[in-house]
Structure formats: structure tokens, C-alpha cells
Amino acid sequence: MPMRLEPACRLTGHEACVVRGTFNSHGKLATASADSSAKIWDLSEGRLVSTLGGVHTHPLTDCAWHGSGNWLVTACEGGALRLWDIRTGVPVGSAKCDDPTYCVSLGNSPNSCSLATGDSRGVLHLWDVRQFASLSSHYPSDHNKPHIDAVASHAPLASVEHAQDDSVIVTAGLDGAVRLWSSWSADCLRTLGAGASGTECMGATIATSDIRDK
């Protein structure tokens, strides 16, 4: 008989599907939802800590923690990026891509300034989060000031992750390819392969999942 596992707790509150769940180094859980909000949860008490909402106007597609555990970045189908300070629950910066942003990753180091995003055209964007706080929440004319580089990488990107030391960024696309990039120069270091079907998700240890396995 297979073991039957029961959930330790149930977290409810989002009004649409949850598209992402991710933990920070302090054990907090962040969830991103198609209801255009993100939520922060304390699993030790099974309670909602805060709701990060009222800013995005499109369904969220992803969220990612900064290595400090104090910042969260959210992305949406409208291409908007928001950087949140979860200690206050308010956005501290913003930027915008021209195309829907499907995946995001912040650096793992508490001192990292690296943000990587992937969009629906298969473009990998690199950003400097130190510049985000100088921007208004209403996309001024210089709203892409934090933008460092953009490289055409794949078919639409499904996943992006920083390696543990933040020196390499790994992308996975719907073309089935997994590529490794230098976070400093944006050069493609290696292509691990391309399959007949898309790679949907992965981790920093370069474990991949093919949509044909679903």
C-alpha cells in the first residue's frame, strides 16, 4: 500500500490559481497568483503574514526571493516587475519589459544585486536591483534604468535560476534547451541540449523536467 500523506496545514486566501510558491532563507513562503497578488505565509503558525497587492494589474506569473530573505520580486503577464520589501509590505521599485515576463530569479547571496527575468519571446533580461529603489512605481520615462542586458536565448522561457554562487544563470525554454549564462557578461557558456518538447522547470542543481513527463 502506498503511504498516504496528509497536509500539515492548508493555506487559503488567493482568489485565483496559485502559479508559484517559494521559500526564503528564514522559512517564510511566498505565493504568486493569477489574482494579481502575492502573499507571504508563516508556516510555523500556518498563518498569512501579509498580502502584496494593489499594484499589478495583470495576473502574476512568478515570484522570487532575494538572498537576504527581505526582498521579493514579482512578475506579471503585462511585463511589469515589482521589488517588494516584505518587512513593510510595500513595493520599493519597479521596471517593465515589453513582453509578458514568465520567470524571475534573484541572486542567492544576501549582497547580490543580480536579477534575471525571462519573457515570452525567449529573451533573457539581466537587471541591477540596486537601481530599482530609485524608480517610481509609475514607470517614468527612464523605467528601464536598471536594465543591464538582454540576450535572445530560446523559444519562450519557462524557468530561470541563479547558481548557488550567482556566477551562472540557468535558463530553460519551451524549445527543450537548457542553457548556462555568465551573470557578469551575459555570454552563453553552454547548451545542455534541446529536446522535441519543452523543459518546464528546473532547480539550481540543474535537475530538469520535460512536459512530456506530465
Of 146, 66, 70, the residue nearest 112 (C-alpha): 66
Please give the pLDDT value at position 138.
34
Mean pLDDT per segment of 10 residues, for the chain of length 214 residues?
80 94 93 97 91 95 95 95 92 88 93 90 88 49 56 83 94 90 89 61 46 40
C-alpha separations of 164 from 28, 106, 109, 126 in Å: 19, 11, 8, 17
Instruction: Report the CATH architecture of 18-156.
Output: 7 Propeller (2.130)
Please give the pLDDT value at position 97.
86
- Bridge-based pairing of strands 157-162 and 147-152 is unpaired
With a CB cutoff of 8 Å and minimum separation 6, the contacts of 34 are 16, 17, 18, 19, 59, 60
Give pTM, 2 decimals: 0.82
C-alpha 54/C-alpha 37 separation (Å) is 7
| Burial class of residue 90 (count of CB atoms within 10 Å of its CB; 0-12, 13-18, 19+) | middle
- Sketch the domain layout of the chain as residue ranges: 18-156
